Amino acid sequence: MFSFFKRFKGSKESDNAPEESQTAPEALAPEPVAPPAPQPADPVSADTQPATAVSVNEPEPETSALETVEIVPPPMQDASAKRSWLTRLKTGLSKTSSSLTGIFVGTKIDEDLYEELETALLMSDAGVEATEFLLESLREKVRSERLTDPLQVKAALRTLLIDLLKPLEKSLMLGHAQPLVVMIAGVNGAGKTTSIGKLAKHLQSFDQSVLLAAGDTFRAAAREQLAIWGQRNNVTVVSQESGDPAAVIYDAVGAARARKIDVMMADTAGRLPTQLHLMEELRKVKRVIGKAQDGAPHEVLLVIDANTGQNGLAQVKAFDDALGLTGLIVTKLDGTAKGGILAAIARQRPIPVYFIGVGEKVEDLQPFSAEEFSDALLGG
């Protein structure tokens, strides 16, 4: 399996890493203990029923010994794994790249070339603003560098595209809080739960203990799907059949603190940005997480389906306005004709793209690289 995190400089205590066992962990709490002492004020509203999955009365872990894990561009994979990933990425983006790559074959550098390029970029859902920016920059580059060969123009476009996408190439930072609380949002069908499961497996590969919170209390299938990932990865899942999602996630944060878990990831119910009451509920979840642990959530990630194109950009803007996003996970790039959406995001709302997905397997979720993406998009 590939790897993309730099390991801790110091050694990890064995009880921080999940045990390698074929036996699935229980989705609920360990053996019950005495209830916690009464709090002066309940941060969760009185009408909510807290999840009973775990106990949270153990003392808060010390944070002074934490080490920040600096995640630089992912460590070099072995050659075969790297080739396999790049092949999947190019294959996945072939529908998008097919209209772009043919433009530079056997043609002249004239207005027809720019018009064809404009059409191809718009069809890939790069959006009007990003398309105009790229074309104007390309025209200037062709003039200033006196390019005469169509392949030179293609290389110039590649450079411009990389420069545009480079600000999105930022990695997830680990170790600056314990637990590191990650809140994950998105519309129904974007791939939130699957992405959480894949990330849990990857984090475990780098000595990170993980706890999951099934904050989608409305859809039984979401809880079941998360439980399956939990069993597969030997990770505890805090779940409740019904009730307030904020209460479930609040209890999960407390459990993670008591157990000295490294990363706690919270799933949330899918919702459209136009569903104002549900967006307000999401704001409430974020506020409650902050009451469970100062400074949390440390990461607020939005999962978007690449096939939604410009609608995906609208989701990014709406969720960012509501929650203050720290990163994106772009899924389902395999087989999409709308891979240009990342250019639109880079131009209009440049939120870091932590990961991109081109398939259902764990290894199909990889850190975003502007250069690799541009090469796949232009058939490089």
Separation of CA 9 from chain center:
25
Q: State the pairing for strand pair 365-367/263-268.
A: unpaired
DSSP calls for 127-165 = -HHHHHHHHHHHHHHHHHHT--SHHHHHHHHHHHHHHHH
Report residue 169 as tokens: 């190439």
How close are the terminal C-alpha atoms of the chain, in Å? 25
Asked if residues 216 and 267 have their Cβ atoms less than 8 Å apart, the reply is: yes
Binding site, by residue number, is 186-193, 267-271, 331-334
Binding site for GTP, by residue number, is 186-193, 267-271, 331-334
Instruction: Specify the amino acid at residue 261.
Output: I
Q: State the pairing for strand pair 353-357/365-367.
A: antiparallel
| Nearest-angstrom CA–CA distance, 61 and 56 | 12
Report residue 286 as tokens: 């974020």
Report residue 315 as tokens: 């989701």
Instruction: Specify the amino acid at residue 185.
Output: A
